[in-house]
Amino acid sequence: MDELKVSFLPANEDVYVLPGTSVLEAAERAGILIENPCASTGTCGKCKVKIISGHTKQEPSQHLSAAETEEGCCLACQTQVLDDCVVEVPRESLASGVRQILSTGDKSEFDLSPAIAKKFFALSPPSREDFVSDLDRLRHVLGEYEIPYPLLKSLPEFLRANSWQGTASIASGRIVSIEAGDTRDEMFGIAIDLGTTSIVGALFSLTDGEEMAVSAVMNPQTNYGADVISRINLIREDAKYLAKLHDTCIAAINSIIASLVEKTGADTAKIYRIAIAGNSTMQEILMGIDPSALGELPFVQAFTESQTVLAGELGIDINPLAEILIFSQVGGFVGGDTVAAMATTTIDERDEPTLIIDIGTNGEIVLANEGSLFAASAAAGPALEGAKISQGMRAADGAIEKIVFEDDQLVFNVIGNTQPRGICGSALIDVVAELLRYGILSEAGRMLSRGNVQDSCPAHLSERIVDCEEGLAFEIASAEESAGGHPIRLTQKDVSELQLAVGAIRAGTQILLARCEIDASQLGSILMAGAFGNYIRIKNACRIGLIPPLPKAKIHFIGNAALYGAKKCLLVQESRDYIDRLAEKTVHVDLSMDPSFQEHFATAMFFPE
């Protein structure tokens, strides 16, 4: 089935979905989170959007006036896309809790207060009556700022060559640059999400907070290992890999900067600050710190508080005296990206118990309850990223990313709209959830043979159960349908791998809930962080037990919280104290040391009823 392109304005995000997908779901997939307090029942009317072009199927609603309908307005949860569409999302429809995330090109989200300020100065030249030193002359006008040695060194020459005028940029009481002329309107900063798999950077004008460009690259460290554990082990085996991985990381960041500068024409010397959030391994390698201690019990980090390093010290191609802010960390594998997610959602200020889940090879879980914060990292393994799954693959071209069982057919969506080559994590969740729904998998995760399925199971599904070398398997795509010429199947072993991954995250969640002596049903909301979270179907994730079964209205995607948190730290100077407070306040729960973990894990191996 052909996928459709849905473009969202003003964020300018595109997404490809199956026909019949709701605009609300498409928007979530695009990282654009729309108000949905009624859980898509169409009763609240808060998810109004405007269809600019494209064919859709809409349910009528009392919340829409005739004029609105005439203009193309509709409720996102009650509208299905039937064709390529362009959809405009008005500001008031954005989910308030995470509205900020989506503010690409939007200048007004924050009370902008970057740690950098620029001041123009015009000094009176020395005279026979006024012969104070150059530095004092500057300070009398600018203020009593600390001046780094390289700037002091060139100060006398600069002042005389530039008629005693110029512009200084100042960060936390320290002069970062002194430039000729009045350059107050050129002041840039970069927020970076330093991920294991990909690195994303966004360039901001710090004069008005405008996001001017975004650029992303694959993390070239993947050449040395797909996940953090394999990279840590490489360094543990041979210390030379620390320098290699570090250099690779810096080169990748520099390539992002080069791309951002090319897109915007910004002057690299006028980029005065970078805020970076990543997991603990990525942050330590970035800093050239040996992460070996993260590779052995009890998983010790090098630092907790946020750190700053000068760009020149790291070899990052911006103003060499600019500070690179690296996020605070909680402990073990609960790193800067998790702190960024906490800061993004101001989780410590929420009235009801709130859970953040960031699904990945390490699943990070944070639970906030009555002012207390607990965080854990669950070693889910790479199954959810498609590894260890017989036909598994990353979410790349050719990957089946969504599977829906209908009464008369099995529908799947392939990334890149090509013949399928395998399935990625989100489709793995879909197919297991659907198999449970149709009774083809038991609660224990055992696949039933064709003869043992219930009569209610449609024949077109039971016929897909095959008995192959590896035992029973469920055929998703036939050899003819697939790109590789061999069938794409889910094996019994694949199911077991998923059970292990889900079980780890579920047991972690259970332990945090137990720490707070609350039950999942008492949660006010669940916030799904990270790229993977964006692409899963909540219903199916609940069905297999990956997230607690809460009403859909209480479950929200918060998109790339690491990038958002980094952006917040770049644009709002008080945020640094906030992320340090969050990291200090959060209790790191080491699951491997929790006596009840094995018990919870064993229970979590059973799918929910």
Residues interacting with its own copies, by CB under 8 A?
Answer: 126-128, 131-136, 149, 152-157, 160, 287-293, 297-305, 307, 309-310, 313, 329, 331-332, 588, 590, 593
Cα distance between residue 590 and residue 334, in whole Å = 10
C-beta of 168 vs 260, nearer to its own copies: 168
Q: Minimum Å distance from CB 240 to its own copies?
A: 13
C-beta of 293 vs 520, nearer to its own copies: 293
Cα distance between residue 160 and residue 138, in whole Å = 12
C-beta of 314 vs 441, nearer to its own copies: 314
C-beta of residue 383 within 8 angstroms of C-beta of residue 429: no
Continuous segment of H or E residues that includes residue 367: strand 362-369
C-beta of residue 429 within 8 angstroms of C-beta of residue 536: yes
Q: Minimum Å distance from CB 1 to its own copies?
A: 50
Is-cis flag, bond preceding 156, omega within 30? no
Q: Minimum Å distance from CB 502 to its own copies?
A: 26
Cα distance between residue 314 and residue 307, in whole Å = 13
C-beta of 144 vs 480, nearer to its own copies: 144
Token pair for 71: 């203009």
Q: Minimum Å distance from CB 112 to its own copies?
A: 28
Q: Minimum Å distance from CB 290 to its own copies?
A: 5
C-beta of 5 vs 236, nearer to its own copies: 236
C-beta of 241 vs 299, nearer to its own copies: 299
DSSP state of 358: E
Beta bridge partners of 368: 354, 373
Find the radius of gyration of the CA atoms of the chain: 26
Going from the C-alpha of 478 to that of each of 313, 410, 544, the distances in angstroms are: 55, 12, 25
C-beta of 329 vs 575, nearer to its own copies: 329
Q: Which amino acid is at 394?
A: R
DSSP three-state, residue 362: strand
Q: Which amino acid is at 232?
A: I
Cα distance between residue 274 and residue 192, in whole Å = 7
| Helix then strand then coil, % of the chain, to nearest 5 | 35, 25, 40
Q: Minimum Å distance from CB 155 to its own copies?
A: 6
DSSP three-state, residue 300: coil
C-beta of 132 vs 479, nearer to its own copies: 132
| Burial of 502: CB neighbours in 10 Å, binned 0-12, 13-18, 19+ | buried
Of 594, 569, 571, residue with least CA distance to 582: 569
Cα distance between residue 227 and residue 245, in whole Å = 13
C-beta of 126 vs 524, nearer to its own copies: 126
Q: Minimum Å distance from CB 605 to its own copies?
A: 24
Cα distance between residue 431 and residue 72, in whole Å = 35
Cα distance between residue 130 and residue 135, in whole Å = 13
C-beta of residue 474 within 8 angstroms of C-beta of residue 489: yes
C-beta of 137 vs 554, nearer to its own copies: 137
C-beta of 300 vs 514, nearer to its own copies: 300
DSSP three-state, residue 99: helix
C-beta of 161 vs 258, nearer to its own copies: 161
Going from the C-alpha of 144 to that of each of 113, 135, 151, 179, 182, the distances in angstroms are: 20, 10, 15, 18, 20
